[in-house]
Amino acid sequence: MELWNSTLGSSFILVGILNDSGFPELLCATITVLYILALTSNGLLLLLITMDVRLHVPVYLLLRQLSLIDLLFTTVVTPKTIMDFLLGDNTISFGGCALQMFLALTLGGAEDLLLAFMAYDRYVAICHPFKYMIFMRPRICRLMVTTSWVLASLSALGHTIYTMHFPFCMSLEIRHLLCEIPPLLKLACADTSTYELLVYVTGVTFLLLPLSAIVTSYTLILFTVLCMPSNEGRKKALVTCSSHLTVVGMFYGAATFMYVLPSSFHNPRQDNIISVFYTIVTPALNPLIYSLRNKEVKGALRRVVEKYMLSAQSTI
């Protein structure tokens, strides 16, 4: 079989979810709306947490990082998907594919670890409220954020370099929404079984271990909540935890399917649908579920708007 010379001047063809859809125009419009929602909600949350000093507490500093990751994550994938469909050009250069893979792996890995740290934050806040500012002091909060970014970046760099070093077959079609490891390995004209095992081990480390920490944290939270004397406090905590677990379930479920399940369980159409959840749907829903509905954020929004109105009036 002929080998394709994978140089920086060569290109892949991304055959994503819009190409396989029976209603591509409707799906493109839906993805566009979700992207605008993700930009607006995450951008607003970043603005509010940055401008309002009352939100400069550990839980919101972690949420600010989550919003930043979600905004960047969906931007790495969605605009190209939309523009490729509108322009009818699905090509992506070898270098562009490597860059997209690195960014997607970095941002996905950082979010994966950050969600586990956020679950720990909720555990400390609910189960040990009097020690919260000790266990979640600013230095520890910064360490959590730094750890998420550094570990995710190093893992992403190693996987990107190793995946792109394989020789690829003459078929340039990547039947996937973006450049990711599993669909690219299907194009490789070399034995990838050892590397697939490494991807599996990394997937277990980066996904199942943080997920276990999240499940443990929320299990302990549930036991604490059930012992609360106040029905109102119990109900509020349960509603908050259930909404958080919904987002966690969507993100980890989709990512686990892509990177932990064996390749025999995958097919291009199914993989495309799964990837939409953690690259487009979850970034749009996270701010709505985690923050924009609670009283503190609504209060911050009101104060920022009032401040802007007063400054506008003073300049007239």
Whole-structure pTM value: 0.89
The whole-number average pLDDT for the span 263-269 is 72
pLDDT at 253: 85
pLDDT above 70: residue 180: yes
Asked, for residue 3, whether it belongs to a domain, the answer is: no
State whether residue 250 is helix, strand or coil. Answer: helix
Asked, for residue 190, whether it belongs to a domain, the answer is: yes
Reported confidence tier of residue 1, pLDDT bands at 50, 70, 90: very low
Reported confidence tier of residue 161, pLDDT bands at 50, 70, 90: very high
Asked, for residue 5, whether it belongs to a domain, the answer is: no
DSSP states along 207-224: IIHHHHHHHHHHHHHHHH
Which range (105-114, 125-134, 216-225, 243-252) has the least confidence?
A: 243-252
Nearest-5° Cα angle at 175, 95 to 263: 100
Number of H helices, E strands in the chain: 13, 5
Q: Which of 104, 97, 95 is nearest to 76 (CA)?
A: 104
pLDDT above 70: residue 316: no
pLDDT above 90: residue 148: yes
Asked, for residue 7, whether it belongs to a domain, the answer is: no
pLDDT at 257: 82
CA distances from residue 176 to 22, 165, 204, 272 in whole angstroms, order as listed: 16, 19, 22, 6
Asked, for residue 21, whether it belongs to a domain, the answer is: yes
User: What's at 124, amino acid-wise?
Assistant: V
Q: Which of 64, 111, 57, 46 is nearest to 279 (CA)?
A: 111
CA distance 276 to 279: 5
Domain that holds residue 115: 12-314
Which residues face 13 on adjacent strands?
Answer: 91, 173
Reported confidence tier of residue 9, pLDDT bands at 50, 70, 90: low
Q: Which of 119, 11, 8, 112 is nearest to 59 (CA)?
A: 119
CATH number (domain holding residue 32): 1.20.1070.10
The whole-number average pLDDT for the span 87-105 is 91
| Average per-residue pLDDT for the chain | 85
CB distance 140 to 99 below 8 Å: no
The whole-number average pLDDT for the span 166-195 is 85
CB distance 149 to 110 below 8 Å: yes
pLDDT at 88: 84
Reported confidence tier of residue 192, pLDDT bands at 50, 70, 90: confident
Residue carrying structure tokens 């270098």: 95
Which run of H or of E encompasses 259?
Answer: helix 231-259
Angular region, 88: left φ>0, alpha ψ -120 to 50, beta rest: left
The pLDDT tens digits of the residues spanning 244-253 come to 788 788 888 8
CA distances from residue 241 to 219, 237, 290 in whole angstroms, order as listed: 10, 6, 10
User: What's at 255, amino acid-wise?
Assistant: A
Question: How many beta carbons lie within 10 A of that of residue 163, not counting itself?
Answer: 23
CB distance 297 to 48 below 8 Å: yes
Asked, for residue 6, whether it belongs to a domain, the answer is: no
Buried (b) or exposed (e) across 120-152, using 16+ Cβ within 10 A?
bbbbbbbeeeeebeeebeeebbeebbeebbebb
pLDDT above 60: residue 7: no
pLDDT at 292: 63
pLDDT at 101: 95
DSSP states along 60-127: HHHHHHHHHHHHHHHHHHHHHHHHHHHHT--EEEHHHHHHHHHHHHHHHHHHHHHHHHHHHHHHHHHH
Asked, for residue 123, whether it belongs to a domain, the answer is: yes
pLDDT above 80: residue 229: no
Asked, for residue 93, whether it belongs to a domain, the answer is: yes
CA distance 211 to 251: 10
Rg over alpha carbons for the chain, rounded to the nearest Å, is 21
CA torsion sign, 232 to 236 to 237 to 241? positive
Reported confidence tier of residue 5, pLDDT bands at 50, 70, 90: very low
Q: Which residue has the higher pLDDT, 17 or 170?
A: 17
pLDDT at 104: 94
Q: Which residue has the higher pLDDT, 217 or 268?
A: 217
Nearest-5° Cα angle at 297, 219 to 289: 45
CB distance 153 to 106 below 8 Å: yes
Total domains in the chain come to 1
pLDDT at 23: 81
Percentage of residues of the chain with pLDDT beyond 70? 91
